[in-house]
Chains A and B, each alone.
Chain A
Amino acid sequence: MLPEERLRHCLPAVVCGILIACAQASAGRAQTLSGSVSSAAEGAMEGVLVSAQQAGSPITVTVVSDEHGRFRFPDGRLAAGHYALRIRAVGYDLDGPQAVELGAASAEVALKLRRTSDLAAELTNTEWFMSMPGTSEQKRALIECMSCHTLERIVRSTYTAEEFFPVLKRMAQYANNTTQARVQWRLAAREVRDDLVRKLASYLATVNLSSAPTWPYALQTLPRPKGRASHVVITEYQVPRRTIAPHDVRTDAQGNVWYSNFVENFLGEIDPKTGEHREYAIPVLKPDAPTGTLDLEADADGNLWLAMMFQTGLAKFDMTTKTFQIFPVQAALDNSATQQSMVMPRAWHVDDKVWTNDVAKQSIMRLDVKTGKYELIDPFEFLAKGRQHSPYGMAADAQNQLYFMDFGDENIGRIDAKSGATTIYPTPTPKSRPRRTMLDDQGRLWFTEFAANKLGMFDTKSESFKEWDVPTPHTYPYDVFMDKNGESWSGGMASDRVLRFDPQSGRSIEYLLPRSTNIRRVFVDNSTNPVTFWAGNNHGAEILRIEPLD
């Protein structure tokens, strides 16, 4: 048989084989889901978030409608099946359809929206801040409320100032790793000044429903996304218990996602391809103390370290054996108020030292990994006593010199690893309360100024600052991450938006998130193109992935 004849004989079989392989590969995958969004009030609507969640799946995928009111899920992203649909567009509810059946072929839906009858239920914390009357100093006191709950809880209450007083006093005794799903009490009582509590209570009674059935001020809303802010795919990974409070999130070399649980003693892991969820129990050292961990960092070997909050001490998680090594705080430095919220193991191999903090003592601590002993360093010992300091976000350079944020005040600090000497750099903006930070490969610290509504950069070589206002007021950014392209990514507890900001051009994009989202640590996976943003929804029991389309 000639080669041409042989080919002619084989060709049908080859084509059939390819078709069968293609069919097998696409089995269970719908072609795509696309459609339109409109309302009687606006016609075709841009910037509406459309979310689809398959029945029984922990994964929800969201896309955003374009300027023609059209949306389209990425090809092959949704498997065939029954999907619940939801939308986010402030001022509107989804009239229908509420669900769609996806088969092997592409599906098209025409979503109709109607004006909402409960606008207040759709407001972000940022929009409540914008709406409430009051001075910036009065509102400033509320930025801590978001750690545990939304502002909607306050403004829907009917408490008078007198009734608020005991509520606020009680809440002050909750641990900061408290959520509505899981309230935890501090072991050591915290002192709060009655006069300041009364002042806050009086203000809150002017913005809630204590004097009238509706709010005595107009509800302000932010515009819907448009343009590049709609070029995005957002994936939510629901975790199996409502009480799980993802705080810090990061990916490993294999692309799996790890998170610290703020209120329970587990380290969590998710396979982003399948949504499969695993947990690793962290030993409980103090049964009566609040549980949960905060800072989650990787060391140079890729092993994970956790700051154990009121359980005190640090936990190292070996990524190979999947086991913990616990470093409890020695008795001389431990008491019922001791709290390690941060850990910085990045360069611990340099000197066998891992940095951490004690919130209660407003101090830095340093673990000697070989001996398991901690030393206490007061970086503010030469400053005036009586000020509220709080060493918080941390970064270490290649020599294991520590840079830390003074979240209680307005400073960045540096501790020399050898001499222990501290250098304090006040931020240009007073009362800034710098929060979390990351050190890039050019020696620049990127950080958020939580109370000043700014992003900041401290160049460790020139010892100089730059600051940028975030575009939306009352965003109160929690954390920032500089990606490989020179763009910074930030999120927080207020706006339900993720900020993508180019410090060179000053251009920014804000991606609206599909639902109320309390973001803490943010992380960018630079191994993908474009980069992928990750964060936890601390009050929403989910992990978020944002894939920009440009």
Chain B
Amino acid sequence: MTLDRAWLRVALIVALTLAVPGLLRAGGVDFTDDDTTTDDEGPPYFGFVREVDGPGIADAKVTAELKNRGALVTRTNIMGVYKIPGFGKDINPDDVTISCAKDGYKEANVLRRTRNDVKDPVEVECYLKKD
């Protein structure tokens, strides 16, 4: 890993920590309204949406799509970072397609990083270029 690459990872972790706190969702709808965690959750998807050889793109739409079944859609924060909570554990991350979009841009490339462990979050960088 080059120095630039290492800094990029550190920046990404910091950005995620600052920008996407408390991603665990709420629990019940009655008076026992506490956080619940579930061991059925698959790995989350995260990464940058950025211009090719350029900065991160804020407020870009990021879609994690499970073909013919459905999708989760979120938007990047001010630094171009997104995080999508995991699908169910029975969903193979290889069946999930990540895409990104923003008015005035078209998708140039989607780069999925190799994971060391199946439990690791799935890092996908999405590159856009201006129309």
Chain A residues packing against B (C-beta within 8 Å):
140-145, 168, 171-172, 190, 192-193, 196-197, 199-200, 379, 381-388, 390, 407-410, 419, 421-426, 428, 430-431, 433, 451, 462-465
Contact = CB atoms under 8 A, between A and B. Distances in A.
Interface string B112-124: 0000000000000
Given A384-B85, A408-B28, A465-B75, 6 more contacts: A382-B91, A383-B85, A384-B89, A424-B71, A426-B85, A430-B25
B31 A141 contact: yes
A462 B73 CA distance: 12
B29 A425 contact: no
Interface string B73-103: 1110000000001111101000000000001
Given A379-B70, A386-B38, A409 B33 contact: no
Nearest to B21: A430
7 contacts: A384-B42, A384-B86, A384-B89, A387-B38, A426-B25, A426-B74, A464-B75
Q: Which of B31, B85, B86 has the most CB of A within 10 A?
A: B31
A138 to B, nearest CB: 11
B1 interface: no
Interface residues of B, number: 38
Contacts of B89: 384
The 4 closest A-B pairs by CB, nearest first: A386-B38, A384-B41, A196-B32, A422-B70
Contact of B26 (A193, A199, A388, A422): A388
A200 B31 contact: yes
B31 A168 contact: yes
B77 to A, nearest CB: 9
Contacts of B66: 382
Contacts of B34: 141, 196, 199
A134 B92 CA distance: 43
B32 A192 contact: yes
B61 A463 contact: yes
Given A409-B26, A422-B70, A424-B70, A385 B88 contact: yes
Interface string B36-66: 1011111000000000000000010100001
A202 to B, nearest CB: 13
Nearest to A142: B31
Nearest to B38: A386
B30 A172 contact: yes
Given A141-B31, A144-B31, A384-B40, A408 B72 contact: no
A197 B32 contact: yes
B68 interface: yes
Given A168-B31, A407-B29, A387 B73 contact: no
A172 B38 contact: no
Contacts of B72: 423-426
Contacts of B103: 462
Given A384-B42, A384-B87, A172 B31 contact: yes
Contacts of B5: none
B23 interface: yes
B22 interface: yes
A381 B69 contact: yes
Contact of A385 (B28, B31, B38, B74): B38
A383 B73 contact: no
B26 A410 contact: yes
Nearest to A172: B30
Contacts of B21: 430
Q: Which of A190, A200, A381, A383 has the most CB of B within 10 A?
A: A383
A463 B38 contact: no
A531 to B, nearest CB: 32
Contacts of A390: 29
A423 B25 contact: no
Contacts of A385: 38, 40, 88
A19 B30 CA distance: 63
Contact of B33 (A144, A190, A382): A144
Contacts of B32: 141, 192-193, 196-197, 200
A78 B88 CA distance: 62
Q: Which of A410, A424, A462, A465 has the most CB of B within 10 A?
A: A424
Given A384-B42, A426-B85, A464 B23 contact: no
Nearest to A191: B32
A421 B71 CA distance: 8
Nearest to B66: A382
A425 B74 contact: yes
Contacts of B28: 388, 408
A381 B71 CA distance: 11
Nearest to A143: B33
Given A383-B87, A384-B40, A385-B88, A431 B70 contact: no
B26 A421 contact: no
A425 B25 contact: no
A388 B27 CA distance: 5
A430 B22 contact: yes
Contacts of A145: 31
A410 B25 contact: yes
Contact of A433 (B24, B26, B74): B26
Nearest to A428: B75
Nearest to A379: B70
B29 A408 contact: yes
A464 B61 contact: yes
B48 to A, nearest CB: 18
A388 B26 CA distance: 7
A212 to B, nearest CB: 24
A153 B59 CA distance: 45
